[in-house]
Amino acid sequence: MENAGTLPNFLVIGAAKCGTTSLCALLGRHPDVFLHPRKELDFFSYDDVYARGIDWYASRFRDGAGRTAVGEGSPNYAKRRKNPRAAERIARHLPDARLLYIVRHPLRRMESAWLHARRAGHRTAGSFGETVRTFPEYVDTSDYEAQVEAYAGHRDAGRLHVLFFEEFRSAPGDVLREAFRFLGVDDSVEIPADDSPRNPSLGRRVDPPLLKRLRRSRAFRTAHRLAPGLTAALVRPFQRELTERPSWDEETLRSVRDALEAPTRRFLEAHGRPADLWDLSGGPDDLDDAAGPKKGAGLPPTLPPGAR
């Protein structure tokens, strides 16, 4: 009988644009960790995917047999407003799973999400401020306290662990060791240094609408399959580089602060950080949209004893 697979025993649930891609890539290099190669399976997020059934989901993890930690990363699991049933479904099917949740400065996360949306052609409403006011999920996803509350059962059982992007960026080795210990795998395993940014948006070249439609045509797909270098060279002059940085107008900033200041302070205190760690009083200060370890802050060949 064919192996039906196994259910994962850990998930990276988000938050979006907080370094989840880099975190998953590094976790997956551990010999005792199997992390599904496709980020954002989103089984618990969307009704059409969930309808495929739990056996289908388990079959995605056949290759993880024998590993201590088997998991996947889907930041949409921590978008309570957009995907209100994700936490309840995870509690039903994976009540003992360990959940990793990485967060960053709430305003910086929103800025990076907007840049990503513009790059990918997702929903925006013109300016940064208009988009934040139009789509409540921008603020909701940065309300980390509310997202954690949705996973109360895992939190109370000690199966939800919060990591901080700023610490991951400056000391990735320490944070990775922390994650390995939480997952119950050897935290002294050597992981090659990797300071290349993942999923950056600023500086990326993007397609205008007409070029996006052209890429979907059968003729273009055929040409690209036969001569990918040539098609890339032909379309490059028609692409534009993302250079516009998000700008906070007074109305939007005041609204976001009113919504996030109190829950952010409580969240930081609950997770052992100073209540004023993140200053929500101003706009962008040093937006690094790489959402990964800081350039030059690679992992040490061996993680130091006693590192947090």
For the record, the structure tokens of 105 come out as 């400065």
- Cα–Cα dist 97/7, whole Å: 9
How do the domains of the chain map onto residue ranges? 10-202+261-270
**Model confidence over 24-35: pLDDT tens digits?**
999 999 999 999
Question: What residues are paired with 164 via a beta bridge?
Answer: 103
How large is the average pLDDT for residues 218-239? 73
Query: Is the separation of the CB atoms in 11 and 101 below 8 Å?
Result: no
Residue 178 has pLDDT above 70, yes or no: yes
3-state SS, residue 286 = coil
Q: What is the pLDDT of residue 126?
A: 76
Write the pLDDT tens digit of every residue in 36-46: 998 889 999 99
pTM: 0.80
- Residue 108's identity, in one-letter code, is R
| Residue 116, pLDDT score | 86
Topology (CATH) of 10-202+261-270: Rossmann fold (3.40.50)
Least confident interval from 95-99, 120-124, 179-183, 279-283: 120-124
- Cα dihedral sign, 211-241-121-42: positive
What is the per-residue pLDDT across 131-142, written as a single tens digit (0 to 9) for each? 999 999 999 999
CA dihedral 155, 20, 26, 47 (to 10 degrees): 80
Bigger pLDDT: 206 or 109? Answer: 109
Question: What value does the mean pLDDT of the chain take?
Answer: 84
Tokens representing residue 168 in the block: 């991951």
By residue count, the chain amounts to 308
pLDDT above 70 (res 240): no
- If pLDDT is split at 50, 70 and 90, which confidence band does 220 have? confident
The per-residue pLDDT for 303 is: 29
- Model pLDDT, residue 60: 95
Using alpha carbons, select from 121, 132, 165 the residue that is nearest to residue 14.
165
242 pLDDT exceeds 60? Answer: no
122 or 254, higher pLDDT:
254
DSSP 195-253: ----S--TT-EE--HHHHHHHTSHHHHHHHHH-HHHHHHHHGGG-EE--PPP---HHHH
Query: Which pLDDT band holds residue 281 (cuts at 50, 70, 90)?
Result: confident
Q: How far apart are CA 14 and CA 150, in angstroms?
A: 13
pLDDT of 142 reads 98
* Predicted confidence (pLDDT) at residue 59 exceeds the cutoff of 90: yes
pLDDT tens column, 256-266: 999 999 999 99
Q: Can you read off the two tokens belonging to residue 91?
A: 């509690």
For 47, residues 6+ apart whose C-beta sits below 8 A from its C-beta are 85
pLDDT at 165 over 60: yes
Which helix (H) or strand (E) covers residue 265, if one does? Answer: helix 250-270
What is the per-residue pLDDT across 186-214, written as a single tens digit (0 to 9) for each? 999 988 755 544 555 544 555 556 656 67
pLDDT at position 297, please? 41
